[in-house]
Amino acid sequence: MIKPNKLSKKIIAYSTSLVLVTTIIFSSASIFTLIAFKKYTVGKTEKIFKENANGNLRREVVTYAKILQREMDSRKSIVYMFGKILDKDINKLLTCHNKEKLAKIYGEINESLDIRSIAVLNSNFKVMCKFPQNIDISSIKKDFYNSLSSQKVKYVDFHINKDRSISYSYIYLTKDKTRSPAFIIFDFNPYDIYSLIKTAQLTPYSQKYLWVINKKGVLIYDPPTKGHPLITLLDNVDLTKKKNGEALSKIVEHEILKGKTGISRYIFRNVDKFVGYTYIKELGWGLGLTLPTETFYSPIITLSKDIDKRTIYTLSFFSIFSALIILASATISMIVAKKTTKPIIETIDAINSIIEGDRSKRLPIGGNDELNQLAESVNKLMDFFDKIWANIKKDGGNL
């Protein structure tokens, strides 16, 4: 009996190959679809997140600018109020005959603000009376007083004193009995303003923080972070210098110090970060609220990893599913091959039986497919040969 090796193997090979190719095409299409979906999702999320983050940075830095300006305006108002009180005794103060009043005003201000000193200067910019006596205020440049003619109270930006302390001042302009100018200096310690700036840093050493520069681009205050220690005016860090980063120097020189508000990106001390910036014209301060790109992209990276993980799960499912399909296809192909080749083999056996002289062999008939028609034809052929053989035998072996 002939075994159905070649035909059944071909049927199995062809059908399995077809399923395999289809599965590969389907899997490839699925993979490309997942990759495209990930790219679109992450890209769209990043765009929206960046727009929101940029908007938030811009709004936050403007908010902090308003808070700082409001705080400094309140100090200016306090200086104006107490300046008017001292102005009533300016002639006595210029001879330091009423220094008790100076001490009393100092005490009242010191209850709410960290004041460093109060001093009264004459028209020659000579200190005539001050409290406390041991505090030096000579760091305020003499040419500054000449710009006070149009203002009653003038702000003096953060400056370094001889004792290496830092302070900022307000000067109250008045006149003595001879109508010559006189000046009352209210000098403040910076720590309350430092603390206010540091409120933008929600956790100690956080990389999101607020820095403030003066009108020359030198850092007034930059809180300590994981990337750098505390920076104050004493460190003389000029952000307009390219050594601190060309991108940062351009932002400071061409954006912030030009009075602009916006969003940008730079690297400072090897930390890549976004910055929302603005300018306080009345104080000459530039503000920068930074957010490291690592922090910014953290949710995006998490989303990307989550999609990658789910993609791996999906592809694993596809692989198992494809393997099951191929196995099922091979099994079904074997069954189909066996069912298909069995009638053919039986036909071949029947024909071989005729050749060997066995004319009683007949093929089973059932169904209405081509193989059944082939079986009927073979049976008819065998009947025909059987009749011929009977006639030959009847005629004595002659055809």
Each of the 399 residues of the chain gets a pLDDT tens digit; together they read 445 456 666 666 666 676 666 666 666 666 666 666 556 555 555 555 555 566 678 889 999 999 999 999 999 999 999 999 999 999 999 988 888 999 999 999 999 999 999 999 998 889 999 999 888 888 876 556 555 556 789 999 999 999 999 999 999 999 988 888 899 999 999 999 999 999 999 888 888 899 999 999 999 999 998 878 999 999 999 999 988 788 889 999 999 999 999 988 888 777 788 889 999 999 999 999 988 776 665 555 565 566 666 666 666 666 676 666 666 666 776 666 666 666 667 677 766 776 676 666 667 776 666 667 777 777 777 777 777 767 777 766 555
Q: Can you give the pTM of this predicted structure? A: 0.66
Tell me what pLDDT residue 204 has: 87
Tell me what pLDDT residue 41 has: 57
User: Are the C-beta atoms of 187 and 135 separated by less than 8 Å?
Assistant: yes
Tell me what pLDDT residue 26 has: 63
Tell me what pLDDT residue 1 has: 46
